[in-house]
Amino acid sequence: MNNAFPTPTLTRPHDELLLEGVALSSIADRFGTPTYVYSRAALTSAFDAYRKALDGRPALVCYAVKANSNLGILSVFAALGAGFDIVSGGELARVIAAGGAPGKVVFSGVGKTREEMRQALEAGIRCFNVESAAEIERLNDVAGKLGKQAPIALRVNPDVDPKTHPYISTGLKSNKFGVAFDQALDLYRRAAALPHLRISGIACHIGSQLLDPAPMAEAASKVLGLVDRLAAEGIRLDHIDLGGGLGIRYRDETPPAVEDYLGPLLKVFEGRSEELCFEPGRSLVGNAGLLLTRVEYLKPGEEKNFAIVDAAMNDLARPALYDAYHDVVAVSARDIPPQDYDIVGPICESGDFLARQRSLALAEGDLIALLSAGAYGMTMSSNYNTRARAAEVIVDGDTAHLVRQRETVESLYALERTLD
């Protein structure tokens, strides 16, 4: 376990773990477990780091909704003036419901349907990040039938290795995302000739959990060269979208500060007039949240000991999916010898684990917190084994706000029907 918590809003002033001014045990007593708990102060601080780093130049920070799409989270960022990066019509509906401005929304993703295009055009979003030649044609057709012009940016694939997990690498030739760099110029020419498209910008995103700014700076240099080639042909852009991807500390990583990550990128575009757009997700919410769960059983074994908790892989899929690491801490300190435990859930899969070989002093009924769970936790959760999904709470100072009620089992099959 790390010697310091990943966010200063999580503290242990005595023997009890607090998020901001609220004891986690009181949240469990009030809302039950498992429950995702987020810090508003941590969310605000993370967003402010981007604003400070970008101060003095035209820029828009668009929160990547896929990281955590709870309305409470979205409303915090909307109030801070954020834009939003979406990948579905459902995410657009969430942004609008949370008070986000459609005019600050960019729509990414490789599989936009006609209905999603119509929805976004009618809402008046800022830009479509287009990812294929076929999408160019479809979007022109949909916009024409609505009597509108669709603002677009081509998401180009710079073929830069981000040096991250292969499942979250998105900028290589072998990835499904974006258009090939050497085809982008011809596709821009094609888009410029279509009557219902308006070329607005260019976009790229090479991957997630990036710990080194160098690959992104390399990609930015390649993008800038293409921007200048477009300008030479009379295709001028009003914005350059450089995606997101800045990593966080889960275990012993040392991600750069936001200003150090953005510094090399801003140097590439020094003196340019185009607005820069960024799409951070994990770095805004990852270390602002944790998953609170209770120990149901302690099960000693010949080869390992298990702490069986009431959360499972359906609540937090990252360990099973990526073999991802999350720090685990006991909510209340116990004066007993620690033991090594695998933290596992009740799901009928050997892959149902949340953490392996953690030294903890535990008793049955104790609460534990899985840290750095604010990103890709609740948004990737499921109802596998007919398990109701967790509650979600945002702590603001000394107040805990329920921002998502725990599901009921009845709600899981409310849309189903039996046969006579």
Catalytic residue among 62, 127, 204, 348: 348
In order, the DSSP letters of 195-244 are: TTEEEEEEE---BSSB--HHHHHHHHHHHHHHHHHHHHTT---SEEE---
Burial class (CB in 10 A: 0-12, 13-18, 19+), 322: middle
- Residue 286's alpha-carbon distances to 142, 144, 238, 289, in angstroms, are 36, 40, 31, 6
* Nearest of 133, 106, 134 to residue 120 by alpha carbon: 106
Rounded Cα gap, residues 126 and 84, in angstroms: 10
343 and 297 Cβ atoms separated by less than 8 Å: no
204 is catalytic: no
* Nearest of 335, 341, 357 to residue 308 by alpha carbon: 341
352 and 345 Cβ atoms separated by less than 8 Å: yes
Neighbours of 52 (CB within 10 A): 10
3-state helix, strand, coil in the chain (%, to 5): 30, 25, 40
Peptide bond into 34 cis (omega under 30): yes
Helix axes 184-193, 133-145, angle to 10 degrees: 20
**Residues catalogued as catalytic:** 348
